[in-house]
Copies of this chain bind each other. A is one copy, B any other.
Amino acid sequence: MHAHTMPAKKARFIPLSDRKAYHRFEDVIGCKWSTLVVAAVSQGVTRPGELERYIPGISTKVLNERLRKLVDFQVLSRTEQSGLPARVDYALTDNGTKLAALLEQVRLLNAQHPDPAS
C-alpha cells in the first residue's frame, strides 16, 4: 500500500495510474463526435467521405481531426489504397474493437434511460 499512515483500506488519492487511464480516455473519447466515429467504423463505414455522409452534422475538419487522434491513440488504423482518385480506409485495431464493444454496451445502457427532465 502506498499510504503508510492511512487505514489500509482507504487511499488518500485516487491512484495515479487510474488518473492517467481516465484522462487518456477523456482525450480519446471525450471530444464531441469521437464515439460516433468509432461506432460508424465498427458498423462497416470505413472511408472518410462515407463517414462524413453517414454521420449527419459532423464537419470535414472535425472528422479529420478525430480520425487522426484515433489513429494516434491506436484505436483505428489507416490504409491508403493504390490508384486514383485517392482512397483511404480506416479500420478498428484490436484495442479499438474492444473499445467499440464497450461503447456499444454504453449505447444500450443509454437506450434504456430517458433524457433528464429539462
Residues of chain A touching chain B, judged by Cβ–Cβ distance below 8 Å, are: 10-14, 17-26, 29-32, 35-36, 39-40, 43-45, 53-56, 72-74, 95, 98-99, 102-103, 105-107, 109-113, 115-116
The complex places the Cα of A11 from the Cα of B31 at a distance, in Å, of 25
20 residue pairs bridging A and B, Cβ less than 8 Å apart: A11-B54, A12-B54, A13-B54, A13-B55, A14-B36, A14-B43, A14-B45, A19-B56, A21-B107, A22-B35, A22-B39, A23-B36, A26-B30, A26-B32, A26-B35, A73-B113, A74-B113, A95-B109, A95-B112, A98-B109
Inter-chain contact A14/B55, CB cutoff 8 Å: yes
Q: Tell me, in angstroms, the Cα distance from A105 to B104 when the chains sit together.
A: 13
